[in-house]
Amino acid sequence: MSTLSPDNRTGVSRRKFVMTATLGTAAAVLGLPTAAIAKKTKIVYWSPLDPKGNNARSKGEAAMIQIFRKQHPDIEVEVQPVPWQVMGQQVIQAVLAGTGPDVAQLSTTNLPDQVGAGTAAPLNDFFAKGWSQAQKDDFILPWDNTVYDGQKMAAYWNSLLNNEFWYLKDTVNGEPPTNWNDLPAFLKPAADKYGVPGFLTGLSQQGNAIEFTDWLIPALWACGADYVQPSGAVGFANANGAKPFEWLLEMIHKYKMTPDSIISLTRDNVLDAIKGRKTISTILTSNIVSPARASLGNALGLAKQPGPNGPCSAFASGKFLMMTKSCKEREAAGLFIEALVSQEAQIANAKIAKEIPARKSVVKDPWFSTPEAADLKFALDYMSASPHVFKYPKRTDYLQTRIALAAQKMMTGHPVRQALQDVADEWETARKA
Amino acid sequence: MNGKRRAKPEMPAAERDLPRILWEAAQPYLLLVPAMAFVLAITVYPIIQLFYIAFHSTNYFQIGAFNGLANFAPLFSASGAKSFLASAIFVISSDVLTISIALFLALILEAPLRGRGILRTLIMVPWLVSLVVTALLWQALLDPNFGPIAHFAKSMFGWTVAPLGDETTAMAAMVMANVWRSYPFALVLILAALQSIPSELYEAARLDGASRWAELRYVALPMAGRTIAVVLILLTFEYFTLVTLPFVMTGGGPNEATYVLSLRIWREAFTNYHFGYSAATGVVVFLLNLALSAFYIRRFVLQDAPRVSR
């Protein structure tokens, strides 16, 4: 019943309002089909990339997720960005607290520890069911790299080349040498002319020291040493293992091509330095070529990592997708992982983000023969010309940070062999703890 | 039957009231139960669990058998000694500098200056900046390639400066960043303490011919002493347990020069997955904090109490 309020405005009586609201709510609840009000299946995905980020890598992953959304409109995906440096720890903490994501994208070094900590859920029943061996062999990185005790614990989201030699083409004469002993002579004129270091790397323990170990591990292989032997013991506490460290010390102290300040530099610092033309060369990973290319254009040159007797082997790894133990929607999570590693999603990411795909069949796409894909082609050729199959051990983050610390000690005068033996001893204690 | 009931002797009044008395006596404690349960769950239980893990072997997150003091062994290595030293330098330097700067600024801000309100607001700004931002800000300032300090040193004097690349200057930089961020907290409390000192005390001191220095020494400092002690305790706790700043700014380097105990706790747990070592370090930090706070309270609060209350 309408009433007239003292200021002559038409009002609604309280009784009428309550009745209308009650009837309206009842009609809405009863009248709508059950499916429309049923909860949509939802998965939470932790990614180091922010889907709203205005950069190629974020856009690439957003396109991959969009492909899944089109295929499965009944499944909602919530992407939660987490910085890559802390992703491993965050996943462990959250999963053990029961609040972890359904799926997470992690760096290749993290998988052994996720398996060890019991935070990864086997994918066998939810991913690649009924796949043939040929389909499994379609991955650039070995299928078994993510298999533990016969269980498939993760699927590669992309492939990575960890050891590309980056240099400023417009500052040097000719192609870089493949032997690292020739590198100082190659870099010196440019370093002197521009007053910047000839070669930069980072020995900081931040980011689990990957900036250093990404190129150190293939250098160890090239010197006849090893990172970790099949027995689990380190393989670099010997004369051959000392060679890459001695080379770096010569670059610092003898040739003055590398400054002392590398002791505190991180991968991001090194990337910023080459983007800002504050160094002539460095060694970085393939997945960050595109932001550097955006800054440097054609001035950025890529080459194989110089070694003691010619180029080092390609050190390939990859980011992977892992279903967590706290995953509540395992079927949906399996579908999500399959969609992201599908040819369609992989080619989309390669084109947008310039990421090396996880699948070999994707590389056959004509796009990879275009100039736009030249950087990826270089990495793929390097990887196929000199591959070195490698599976990280458990507690590799610990080992990497100890190696970086050993290198820091060497810079302050600690004997190389002694520093490496200290790491070997610490590693033995740690892995048996 | 009724007759028998009637024949029963009446209970004394005190006995009759016993349930009510007990209920009334228990009521305050019952009301405290939810709060106590909450405190036990979020404070006492984790501490007990910390001690339990510290004396047991661990494999990732699985707690194994009792292993005595084995988890404490890494603390007595060269690396452990560096962490103790780094923590001591970091906490003591930060405490001394923060309290000194805060006291100095509090004395200035207490004076009737023009624009005192704006000055007070500006001085509080660092407190509003988060720790991560503080760390990144100082890291950027000190960056050897792009930092303004390095640029200035290079362009003016031709020096190559990399403060975070040297053991001594990295620690100094971390202390500076920490002091910059935390002095406003100390300043607010010390300023409040100074402002609460009755002006009659200063007037009496002046009548006795006291100089400005004597006013500070014999009036301001004793009267604000308790507050300063409390600030010192709070800051010491905070500095001892600070992870973000060393984690973001230096990562514990170079050469473990800034690998403070708190960062060690974090890294042992979440990089090395040695929860036993991490818990053992946590126990040591807990006991150190306990001992330090007991010392501060005995030395500064209890000892000064009679003097202040006079």
ipTM over 0.85? The verdict is no
| Residues A212, A343 within the same domain | no
Q: Which residues lie across from A418 on neighbouring strands?
A: none
* Residue A23: per-residue pLDDT: 63
Instruction: Establish if A2 belongs to a structural domain.
Output: no
- In order of B96, B234, B242, the CA distances from B228 in angstroms are 11, 10, 20
How many of the other CB atoms lie within 10 Å of CB of A372?
Answer: 13
B235-271 pLDDT tens trace: 999 999 999 999 999 989 899 999 999 999 999 888 8
Nearest Cα residue to B236 out of B158, B296, B180: B296
Instruction: Establish if A415 belongs to a structural domain.
Output: yes
Instruction: Establish if A215 belongs to a structural domain.
Output: yes
Instruction: Establish if A33 belongs to a structural domain.
Output: no
Domain that holds residue A341: 41-160+317-385
Query: CB–CB of B255 and A409 under 8 A?
Result: yes
- The SS3 assignment for A104 reads strand
Using CA atoms, how far apart are residues B278 and B260, in angstroms rounded to an integer? 13
The rounded Cα A262 to chain-centroid distance in angstroms is: 22
SS3 track for A72-83: CCCEEEEEEECC
| Residues A218, A280 within the same domain | yes
Cβ atoms of A395 and B273 within 8 Å: the answer is: yes
Q: Nearest CB to A408: which of B144, B162, B254?
A: B254
Query: CB–CB of B146 and A204 under 8 A?
Result: no
Contacts of B73 in chain A (CB under 8 A): none
Closest chain B residue to A114, measured at CA: B60
Indicate if the pLDDT at residue B225 is higher than 50. Answer: yes
> Counting beta carbons within 10 angstroms of the beta carbon of residue B40, is it exposed (0 to 12), middle (13 to 18) or buried (19 or more)?
exposed
User: For A370, what's the count of Cα atoms within 13 Å in the CB-facing half-sphere?
Assistant: 8
DSSP A140-187: SS-GGGGEETTEE--EES-BEE--EEEEEGGGSSSSPPSBGGGHHHHH
Instruction: Establish if A299 belongs to a structural domain.
Output: yes
* Residue A22: per-residue pLDDT: 65
Q: Nearest CB to A264: which of B160, B170, B270?
A: B170
| Residues A45, A134 within the same domain | yes
Q: What type of residue is A227?
A: Y
| pLDDT above 70 as % of chain B | 93
Residues 6+ apart with CB under 8 A from B198: none
Instruction: Establish if A166 belongs to a structural domain.
Output: no
Burial A59-73 (b: 16+ CB within 10 A, else e): bbbbbbbebbeeebe
Residue B310 is encoded by which pair of tokens?
């006079």
A325-354 pLDDT tens trace: 999 999 999 999 999 999 999 999 999 999
Cβ atoms of A359 and A318 within 8 Å: the answer is: no
| Residues A403, A359 within the same domain | no
Residue A226 is encoded by which pair of tokens?
């090893």
* Residue A207: per-residue pLDDT: 78
For chain B, the residue count is 310
* Residue B226: per-residue pLDDT: 86
Which stretches of chain A score pLDDT less than 50?
1-9, 33-37
Number of domains in chain A: 2
What pTM was computed for the model?
0.82
| Residues A153, A257 within the same domain | no
Query: CB–CB of B272 and A398 under 8 A?
Result: yes
| Residues A145, A86 within the same domain | yes
| Residues A336, A213 within the same domain | no
Contact B160/A at CB under 8 A: yes
Report residue B1's pLDDT band, with 50, 70 and 90 as the boundaries.
very low
Residues 6+ apart with CB under 8 A from B194: B106, B107, B110, B220, B223, B224
Query: CB–CB of B165 and A264 under 8 A?
Result: yes
Q: Which residues lie across from A317 on neighbouring strands?
A: A160
Report residue B160's pLDDT band, with 50, 70 and 90 as the boundaries.
confident
Domains of chain B, earliest start first: 75-309 (1.10.3720.10)
Shortest Cα distance from B251 to chain A (angstroms)?
5
Instruction: Establish if A60 belongs to a structural domain.
Output: yes
Closest chain B residue to A97, measured at CA: B61
* Residue A210: per-residue pLDDT: 85
Q: Where residue A207 sits, what CATH number does that domain have? A: 3.40.190.10
| Residues A299, A424 within the same domain | yes
* Residue A34: per-residue pLDDT: 47
User: For A275, what's the count of Cα atoms within 13 Å in the CB-facing half-sphere?
Assistant: 16
Q: Which residues lie across from A10 on neighbouring strands?
A: A4
| Residues A399, A294 within the same domain | yes
| Residues A325, A307 within the same domain | no
Interfacial residues of A (vs B; Cβ cutoff 8 Å): 88-89, 92-93, 96, 113, 116-118, 203-206, 208, 259-266, 269, 272-273, 276, 278, 395, 397-398, 401, 405, 408-409, 411-412, 430, 433
Indicate if the pLDDT at residue B150 is higher than 90. Answer: no
User: For A77, what's the count of Cα atoms within 13 Å in the CB-facing half-sphere?
Assistant: 29
Instruction: Establish if A14 belongs to a structural domain.
Output: no
Closest chain A residue to B256, measured at CA: A405
| Residues A408, A266 within the same domain | yes
- The SS3 assignment for A220 reads helix
Shortest Cα distance from A200 to chain B (angstroms)?
11
B69-98 pLDDT tens trace: 999 988 888 889 999 999 999 999 999 999
* Residue B8: per-residue pLDDT: 61
Contacts of B162 in chain A (CB under 8 A): 259-261, 264
Q: What type of residue is B277?
A: Y
Looking up tokens 């000719």 gives: A174
Query: CB–CB of B273 and A96 under 8 A?
Result: no
Q: What type of residue is A178?
A: T
Using CA atoms, how far apart are residues A314 and B42, in angstroms rounded to an integer? 50
